[in-house]
Amino acid sequence: MSDATIELANGNLRITRTGPRGRLGMIELNRPRQLNALTGAMIDGLAEVVAAWRADTSVEQIVIFGAGERGLCAGGDVAELRAGIVADGHTGGAERVLGSEYRLDATWGELPQPVVAVMEGHTLGGGVGLSGHASIRVVTERSRVGMPETAIGFSPDVGGSYLLARMPGRLGEHAGVTGTRLNAADAIATGFADWFIPSDRIPQLLARLANEPAAEVVADLAEDPGESQLLAEREWIDEVYSAATLQEVVARLQEHAPEHPVAAEALAAITAASPLAAAATLELVRRNRDAADLRAAIDLEFRVGARLIAGHDFSEGVRAMLVDKDRQPKWQPASLDAVTEQQVATLFAEADAPRMDWSLGPLGLRDSGE
């Protein structure tokens, strides 16, 4: 089969079948000026493609990558999500978008074909959802991988808390509440990625996947990523984040900051973040250590996230960081000391909780086609 490319979501997705009999399915996110941030239309387009390829035995392997050199995907288009909430006056539409995205994210690890995710550049939030659950996860020297949601009044989602909860020791709590960006060595050492391939070899990777088995190509092109700097900080991080509450974590960070630059950076990040979202994130990562599987972890993420987007801090955080860009969010509560245990518990409460609907498929339709 000769290469056949179609464009979806107003050209923001490029879908190509290439190689003998179209054996390789290629997905290119094509919003490079926006760091390939995911819109609702892109999520729907991806869901259609993945559903079709899942049932197509002629598609033997899949690769997902981003246009440009700046990133696979910097996350979901939360400005679009916020605009929908403001226009609708409620979060029903936003919850539907998140539900569609989360169902898509869970699917990556369930596909029968090997999926190669090229986590080049910024791979954040929703970008982790598209890549972190794939079977073959590739990072480069330009990779910056993380879940920075607390900076906009939200909590890790797309299964990110499931990955955070499985990092060694307490590194997941640290990375979650601070939005730490992992480099290639950090990502591999902590379970967010599998292989390091220099960026100048990525074109070769994409070309060879059309004709060769994914696992063999990746192993042939991969190099040693070097030592993880984050893993080297684990001893004091484990001690700090063993504290019962985020307030106590901050107190311990203040003690370590004079001797550990990473502690000082963490303190600054937590101070700037939404206090409620940061406290919720600490609890979310801890609870999802016991999650039975990825879908169970996403269930809890959805419950907490749906309540956060209905509150003040999400809209305010997106406004300050991405819309008006004054970077001066006015959080409510304004400080970590003002966050109560009851406020955090309410986000997790099962009573009247928003719930994921796993029976829905692409475009929000029932799997039966209803």
Residues with a known catalytic role: 76, 126, 149, 157
Q: Tokens 């893993």 identify what position?
A: 231
In the DSSP assignment, the letter for residue 201 is G
Cβ(206)–Cβ(63) below 8 Å: yes
Q: Tokens 């090229």 identify what position?
A: 118
User: If DSSP codes are grouped into helix, strand and coil, which group holds residue 2?
Assistant: coil
Cross-strand pairs, 25: 17, 62
Task: Kindly state the greatest CA–CA separation across the chain.
Answer: 63
Beta strands of the chain (E only): which ranges? 4-8, 13-18, 24-29, 61-66, 115-119, 122-124, 136-139, 144-146, 195-196
**Euclidean distance between CA atoms 275 and 282, whole angstroms:** 11
Helices then strands, each counted (H, E), the chain: 17, 9
Cross-strand pairs, 139: 119, 196
Which value, in Å, is the radius of gyration of the alpha carbons in the chain? Answer: 20
Distances (CA, A) of 356 to 162, 189, 232, 305: 16, 31, 38, 11
At residue 27, φ and ψ (nearest 5 deg) are -120, 120
In the DSSP assignment, the letter for residue 212 is S
| Helix or strand holding residue 63 (H, E) | strand 61-66
